[in-house]
Amino acid sequence: MQIQGDIIKMRAEYAHPVKYFLSFTETEIPLNDFLGKSIRMEYSKVIHCLGCGAVTVKSFAQGYCYKCLISRPETADCVLNPEKCTAHLGVARDMDYAEKNCLQDHFVYLALSGDLKVGVTRASQIPTRWIDQGASSAIKLARLPYRALAGEMEVELKQFYKDKTSWQKMLKAEVPLVNLVDAKQLAYEHLSEEKAAYVIDDDEVLEIQYPLLSVPKKVSSLSFNKEGLIEGVLTGIKGQYLILDNERVLNLRKHGGYEILFSA
């Protein structure tokens, strides 16, 4: 089969293991079906901005041209730094977007993704956010009414926990032995009285399994910017990474908007 188009973030469905779909702007294909099979991805040297569709020579923020980087709500500062969100003050690049994405309930959570990390996500993005990070397990810590407040709690906890995923550790399944329920209790004790009031009683730990034929011991990163043609046997999918034979990995989300021809 062959499909040509602009790639976007893989879609994932929670299952045992997670079901992945290679997504293009116009269509998608189930990726789990290709485990253990040879795949081929040829880059056309064309990048389309996921915001406006224009051809861009460089991709910013995982798929946007520079004009969209500095103007669209999807690339605002609060995407990476929730505490900088000002939507609750009536200030945003697009208030309609903010109503749907920032002025909604957000969770602060703990996840095992290479390390024990703290994070923030909209309620509607659970467990998608955890899957995108390649977390092996995660627990909700607190529920807050808007993004900035959740970001402020995350800032309080970042002095005790990491807030970024080590993609190498995540792919090699180097996960510390941590009881997330106990970790949640400790995190609660680190919080100010104001923020601790938002901690929830739900102690369910979600375990996540990924479609993996093997776990790489070392990882070598691939990029369409360096290699116009990437091919090999698909041995696993985790986070937003394809794992190919010889322990090579490709971060698909990093290449949002890249036009490729997929063959299998």
The residue out of 164, 180, 207 marking a domain boundary is 207
Looking at the structure, tell me whether residues 128 and 166 fall in a common domain.
Answer: yes
**Amino acid (1-letter code) at residue 185:** Q
d(CA 185, CA 141): 9
pLDDT above 90 for 68: yes
Query: Do both 111 and 175 map to the same domain?
Result: yes
Tokens of 128: 């998608």
Q: With bands split at pLDDT 50, 70 and 90, how would you rate the model's confidence at 143? A: very high
Q: Residue 28: give the domain boundaries.
A: 2-47+212-263
How far apart are alpha carbons 157 and 159 in whole angstroms? 5
**The predicted structure's pLDDT at residue 114:** 87
Q: Do 199 and 114 lie in a common domain?
A: yes
Q: Are residues 33 and 111 in the same domain?
A: no
* 176 pLDDT higher than 90: no
231 is a domain residue: yes
pLDDT tens profile 109-142: 999 998 999 999 999 999 999 999 999 999 999 9
**CA nearest to 48, candidates 23, 72, 67, 65:** 65
Domain assignment present for residue 89? The answer is no
Does the pLDDT at position 208 exceed 90? yes
- Give the CA distances from residue 143 to residues 6, 40, 117, 150, 201, in Å, rounded to whole numbers and listed in that order: 36, 43, 17, 8, 10
Residue 118 belongs to a domain: yes
Predicted confidence band of residue 75 (pLDDT cuts 50, 70, 90): very high
Q: What is the pLDDT of residues 17-36, one digit of tens each?
A: 999 999 998 899 999 999 99
H/E stretch holding 238 reads strand 229-238
The span from the CA of 16 to the CA of 211, in Å, is: 8
Q: How far apart are CA 208 and CA 17, in angstroms?
A: 7
186, 224: one domain: no
162 and 121 assigned to the same domain: yes
**H-helix or E-strand containing 250?**
strand 248-251
**Same-domain status, 12 and 41:** yes
Kindly state whether residue 59 falls inside one of the protein's structural domains.
no
Tell whether 149 is covered by a domain: yes
- The pLDDT of residue 175: 87
Within-domain flag for 55: no
- Percent of the chain whose pLDDT exceeds 90: 95
In a domain, 221, yes or no: yes
- My answer on whether 198 and 258 are in the same domain is no
- Predicted confidence (pLDDT) at residue 63 exceeds the cutoff of 90: yes
If asked whether residues 148 and 218 sit together in one domain, one would say no
- Cα atoms in the 13 Å half-sphere on the side-chain side of 17: 19
Tell me which of 180, 207, 234 is where a domain ends: 207
* pLDDT number for residue 60: 96
In this structure, are 117 and 202 located in the same domain?
Answer: yes
| pLDDT at 202 > cutoff 90 | yes
> Residue 190: pLDDT above 90?
yes
Pairing assessment for the beta strands 38-47 and 258-263 based on DSSP bridges: antiparallel
Neighbours of 82 (CB within 10 A): 25
| pTM of the shown model | 0.94
- Average pLDDT of the chain is 96
Residue 56 lies in a domain: no
Closest CA to 239 of 250, 255, 228: 250
Same-domain check for residues 140 and 181: yes
Cβ atoms of 161 and 116 within 8 Å: the answer is yes
Counting the structural domains of the chain, the total is 2
